Amino acid sequence: MSEELRTVWWEADAVCLIDQLLLPHEQVVVRCTTPELVAHAIKSMQVRGAPAIGCTAAYGMALIALQSQAETVPALLADLEAGKVMLDSQRPTAVNLAWATDRLLTKARQLSAEVATPQALAAALLDEGHAVLNEDLAMCHAIGDHGAPLIPAGGRVLTHCNAGGLATAGYGTALAPMRTAFAQGRNIHVWVDETRPFLQGARLTAWELHQAGISLTLITDNMAGYMMKSGKVDCVIVGADRIVANGDTANKIGTYSLAILARAHNIPFYIAAPTSTIDLTMEHGDLIPIEERSEEEVTHLGGRMIAPVGVRAAHPAFDVTPAELITGIITERGVVTAPFAEGLRRVKEGA
């Protein structure tokens, strides 16, 4: 199997990441040498996917500390508070962004009484950024271990968007069960939704699975129901951007439709996500902020206008799947099934 993918990493005083806007035909590394470049990478989706955004933002906070001109620790804390506001504002739906900036700011406050200089605090925050990344990698593999046995004997999994290594530090969430089952020698086939309008499936998931040697078929989003009705899908596994206390889950636009189709065809529908994607502060899915992205991402394809000039387009980038349509939520601490509230609290609190 190809060398394990790395999506975001720290190197030579910069947050480095694969420019996902250029995949699959170009593999270009972006070096974010300033917090503003980190913010741009998140907003523009050079890096995307909830856990990958979280890892990037964690290093973004460390970069803010390392480049701060603060002469005292309290002044550095003020810079970090402002930096959190700036980074959190780049994208609203994936909870991992605010989770990561909050973790780094909380760490800074905890250490502020112990460290003597802003430089010492900055060094400690870089270590925390490394911890976030390494924990994410471990969580992805654990999700693979818990998720692989859930793939039915037929091994035919439909997935949506990209919740693979490119959406995490590496290895992936929704793709982790397929990667792990494949590594265990199982016969796996993945139906990959292209995922209009940003084409994360066609450009990123297809690239990842092809690189890993895992069998796949690319389909347009409107083929999913046909494949299910034709008996070609054994289960659905998708990622998540925010899972709230009752199990309602925000994920890429089109996920809700898949959940309805899966229920209609009695096909198991799984969410795969690390516990960092669980947000117990929100009671239900109606509270999840849904990002509206530019109309041009719908009216244009590959930089070329596909709609008539002057035509408006809607572009909600996510939708919410109600908990009652979800068979199970695969986390690094095990699989949570209905009733979700107690199980999500258990895995989130690490019990």
Binding region for substrate: 48-50, 91, 200, 251-252
Q: Which of 161, 202, 233, 347 binds ligand LNRAV4D5 (CB under 6 A)?
A: 161
49 near ligand LNRAV4D5, judged by CB under 6 A: yes
Q: What are phi and psi of 289, to 5 degrees?
A: -70, 130
**Residue nearer to ligand LNRAV4D5 on the CB measure, 48 or 189:** 48
Burial of 287 (0-12, 13-18, 19+ CB in 10 A): middle
- In order of 193, 309, 311, the CA distances from 306 in angstroms are 20, 9, 10
Q: Is 205 in the site for ligand LNRAV4D5 (CB under 6 A)?
A: no
User: How near is the Cβ of 190 to ligand LNRAV4D5 at its closest, in Å?
Assistant: 14
Q: How far is CA 268 from each of CA 174, 226, 232, rounded to the nearest angstrom?
A: 14, 16, 13
Could you tell me which residues are beta bridge partners of residue 19? none
Does position 327 interact with ligand LNRAV4D5 (CB under 6 A)? The reply is: no
Pair type for strands 156-159 and 235-238: parallel
Please confirm, yes or no, whether 234 is among the known catalytic residues: no
Applying CB under 6 A, does 317 fall inside the site for ligand LNRAV4D5? yes
200 binds ligand LNRAV4D5 (CB under 6 A): yes
Binding site members: 48-50, 91, 200, 251-252
Contact flag: residue 176 with ligand LNRAV4D5 (CB under 6 A): no
Span of 44-52, 280-288, 302-310, 326-334 interacting with ligand LNRAV4D5 by CB under 6 A: 44-52
321 binds ligand LNRAV4D5 (CB under 6 A): no
**Which single residue is written with the structure tokens 């409107």?**
222
Q: Residue 260: CB partners within 8 Å, gap ≥ 6? A: 325
Residue type, 130: H
- CA quadruple 26, 30, 36, 39: dihedral positive or negative? positive
Min CB(35)–ligand LNRAV4D5 separation in Å = 20
* Cβ 20 to ligand LNRAV4D5 shortest distance, Å: 8
Residue 221's identity, in one-letter code, is D
String of contacts with ligand LNRAV4D5 for each residue 238-277, x by CB under 6 A:
xx-x---------xx-------------------------
Cα gap 116→51, rounded to integer Å: 32
The CA-to-CA distance between both ends of the chain, in Å, stands at 35
Query: Is 126 or 282 the residue whose CB approaches ligand LNRAV4D5 more closely?
Result: 282
Kindly name the residue from 79, 234, 241, 279 that is annotated as catalytic.
241
Q: Given the complex with ligand LNRAV4D5, which of 126 and 163 has the nearer CB atom? A: 163
Q: How far, in Å, CA of 288 to CA of 58, rounded?
A: 22
CA distance 11 to 15: 7
Nearer to ligand LNRAV4D5, 168 or 180 (CB): 168
Part in contact with ligand LNRAV4D5 (CB under 6 A); list of ranges 25-33, 81-89, 166-174, 319-327:
166-174
Closest residue to ligand LNRAV4D5 using C-beta atoms: 239
Contact 92, 292 (CB under 8 A): no
Q: Three-state SS string across 100-125, please?
A: HHHHHHHHHHHHCCCCCCHHHHHHHH
How many CA atoms, within 13 angstroms, populate the side-chain half-sphere of residue 175? 33
Helix boundaries (H) for 148-242: 176-183, 200, 206-212, 224-229
Compare residues 219 and 238 and give the one whose CB is closer to ligand LNRAV4D5. 238
- 51 is a site residue for ligand LNRAV4D5 (CB under 6 A): yes
Catalytically active residues, by annotation: 241
Residues making contact with ligand LNRAV4D5 (CB under 6 A): 48-51, 161, 163, 167-168, 173, 200, 238-239, 241, 251-252, 317
